[in-house]
Amino acid sequence: MIEIHVFDNAEGVAQAGAAVFLDEYEKAIALKGEFVVGLSGGSTPKRMHALLVGLEIEWSLVTVVLGDERYVPPEDPQSNERMVRETLVDHVPVGSFLPMYRGESPEADARSYEEVLPFVDLIYLGLGDDAHTASLFPGELGVFDDDHKVIAAKAPVNAPDRITLTANCITCFPKVAFLVAGESKAEAAWRCLEGPVDIANVPSQAIARFAPNVVWLTDRLAVTKLQAGA
């Protein structure tokens, strides 16, 4: 099941993302007394994190994990860990933060992360202009990996290697929230949601179309090619 919610701009997307966080947090705390959330990089998540800092949340009950990571040290400006720390984790007393990078190798660090990855209640994902999500890129076989929860992945040319949760792992989570904003995402959004099924070349389809509970939070510029957004 997928729900599509369209907002005027990226600020509206960030606000909606924060509202989803609070809703899923309250459900998880009522059910089991803890909440595990998966976060991603990007400009819209940065704004959402700033909003989360202001929420009345018992952060000691929250565990933060990453959906993917560039294989760079945490002090690198490209690091998702660094972004999440600077925009959220350094500002609130989370119970636990589980970064992906350990410095051995992408493959070894992926195996290590798989061993400690808890069940995730809610994960946020973005959408690349090439229709990738997390670090599941077009043409890479990792999107079809059913044997692992976490894998090493190759990024496009001249970019760092990655570590990423697999599509098979993510589709087992009870809630997936895509944050998608900007005109540059319009073609990728159409390919992901309404284009012909082609998971090898549109990896985001594996999650957006097959996860049991997906919410798509987007601005108007990103849905100009969608029938659903017309």
Q: What is the CATH number of the domain that holds 60?
A: 3.40.50.1360
Mean pLDDT of 197-216: 97
Asked if the structure places residue 179 within a domain, the reply is yes
Q: In the prediction, which pLDDT does 230 show?
A: 44
The DSSP annotation for 8-47 comes to SSHHHHHHHHHHHHHHHHHHHHHHHS-EEEEE--SHHHHH
Confidence at 228, pLDDT banded by 50, 70, 90: low
Asked if the structure places residue 229 within a domain, the reply is no
Asked if the structure places residue 7 within a domain, the reply is yes
Asked if the structure places residue 87 within a domain, the reply is yes
Asked if the structure places residue 221 within a domain, the reply is no
Q: In the prediction, which pLDDT does 141 show?
A: 85
Give the structural domain span for 171: 2-210
Q: In the prediction, which pLDDT does 158 show?
A: 84
Q: Buried (b) or exposed (e) across 144-178, using 16+ Cβ within 10 A?
A: ebeeebbbbbebeeeeebbbbbbbbbbbebebbbb
Mean pLDDT of 6-31: 98
Q: Which of 104, 207, 198 is nearest to 165 (CA)?
A: 207
90 pLDDT above the threshold of 90: yes
Per-residue pLDDT tens over the stretch 173-196: 999 999 999 999 999 999 999 999
Number of compact structural domains in the chain: 1
Mean pLDDT of 202-209: 98
Using CA atoms, how far residue 64 sits from 14, 34, 47, 118, in Å, is 18, 11, 17, 10
Asked if the structure places residue 219 within a domain, the reply is no
Asked if the structure places residue 81 within a domain, the reply is yes
Q: In the prediction, which pLDDT does 217 show?
A: 98
Q: Which two tokens stand for residue 62?
A: 């929250």
